[in-house]
């Protein structure tokens, strides 16, 4: 029987510096059978442990169509992430998961899709964007709006360049504060909404980022006419077990790790605590 608290061992294959405080870790499960059977859905997360130090949840950022080598993007903000940042390729971490409900995928085929991402909110959305691009013809218009604090805070800079040049993707980005080398948009991500030609009809919007950014982005989308059920975001809470037992992430009668972390705005409004 599966032991839900026992991690699988995973080896760090690659570490890439994304920004001054963010790294992307490419991981591979050590056990061959685990490696071959590992699958995940867009928007799910892993509980990654530095043995003896701590464990924390991280959204999978890689393409679910290539599960043999998956990656997560981690910003150093506390003891666990600091410890992860000190590791090197070849080091071993513990991995449990994938957990969480994940983003809808098949259910939204045929619709237009709008992605609104802020800063470190892009990695989990990327796990949805990539398979969508793989099955591009099954979706309508695909638009990505990305904002970060400054040019130095943009993640996946190379991939952003590729999205900019893709014909069948509408991509715009902005930074809150520019620098001497920046000639693009300046302002929070909602400031590029007016010039983005957002399609509202038959569109599902995915919003990920810092809580304040999510709040303002959703307000704007509602103003544009999006229905609450068609605005989809993720909730973050302090998590421990990831499997709906320890109680830390409970909001109302939902557990962020089981019933979420993906929630529509309509579901969020029904929760007894203010979450957005």
Which residues of this chain interact with another protein, rule CB under 8 A? 1-7, 9, 49, 51-55, 77-78, 81, 92, 94, 236-238, 240-241, 243-248, 250, 252-253, 258, 272-273, 275
Structure tokens given for 6: 């026992």
Contacts of 215 (CB under 8 A, 6+ apart): 276
Residue with smaller CB distance to another protein, 195 or 253: 253
> Contact at 8 Å (CB) between 29 and 38?
yes
> Contact at 8 Å (CB) between 11 and 69?
no
Least spacing, CB of residue 193 vs another protein, in Å:
26
Least spacing, CB of residue 257 vs another protein, in Å:
10
Handedness of CA 13, 164, 152, 198 (dihedral sign): negative
Residue with smaller CB distance to another protein, 232 or 276: 276
Separation in Å, CA 17 to CA 11, 25, 30, 154, 156: 18, 9, 23, 11, 10
Least spacing, CB of residue 46 vs another protein, in Å:
15
Residue with smaller CB distance to another protein, 182 or 216: 216
Residue with smaller CB distance to another protein, 223 or 245: 245
| DSSP characters over 54-70 | EEEEEEB-S-TT-TTSE
The Cα–Cα gap between 231 and 266 comes to: 8
Beta bridge partners of 60: 72
Contacts of 212 (CB under 8 A, 6+ apart): none
Residue with smaller CB distance to another protein, 113 or 209: 209
Residue with smaller CB distance to another protein, 159 or 245: 245
Closest CA to 140 of 71, 55, 198, 193: 198
Least spacing, CB of residue 62 vs another protein, in Å:
23
Least spacing, CB of residue 42 vs another protein, in Å:
21
Least spacing, CB of residue 248 vs another protein, in Å:
6
């Amino acid at each position: 029987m599966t032991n839900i608290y026992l991690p699988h061992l995973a080896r760090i294959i690659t570490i890439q510096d994304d920004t001054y405080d963010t790294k992307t870790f490419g991981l591979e499960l050590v056990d061959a059978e685990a490696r071959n059977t590992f699958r995940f859905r867009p928007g799910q997360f892993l509980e990654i442990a530095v043995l003896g130090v701590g464990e924390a949840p991280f959204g999978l950022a890689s393409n679910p169509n290539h599960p043999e080598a998956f990656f997560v993007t981690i910003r150093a903000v506390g003891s666990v992430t600091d410890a992860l940042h000190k590791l090197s390729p070849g080091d071993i971490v513990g991995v449990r998961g994938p957990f969480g409900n994940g983003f809808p995928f098949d259910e939204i085929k045929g619709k237009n899709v709008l992605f609104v991402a802020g800063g470190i909110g892009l990695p989990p959305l990327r796990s949805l964007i990539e398979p969508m691009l793989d099955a591009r013809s099954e979706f309508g218009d695909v638009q990505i709006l990305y904002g970060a604090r400054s040019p130095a805070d943009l993640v996946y800079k190379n991939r952003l360049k590729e999205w900019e040049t893709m014909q069948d993707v509408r991509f715009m980005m902005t930074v809150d504060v520019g620098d001497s080398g920046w000639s693009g948009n300046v302002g929070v991500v909602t400031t590029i909404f007016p010039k983005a030609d957002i399609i509202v009809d038959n569109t599902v919007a995915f919003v990920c980022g810092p809580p304040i950014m999510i709040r303002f982005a959703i307000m704007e989308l509602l103003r544009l006419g999006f229905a609450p059920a068609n605005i989809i975001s993720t909730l973050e809470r302090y998590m421990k077990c990831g499997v709906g037992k320890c109680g830390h992430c409970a909001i109302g009668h939902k557990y962020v790790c089981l019933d979420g972390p993906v929630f529509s705005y309509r579901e969020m409004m029904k929760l007894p605590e203010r979450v957005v």
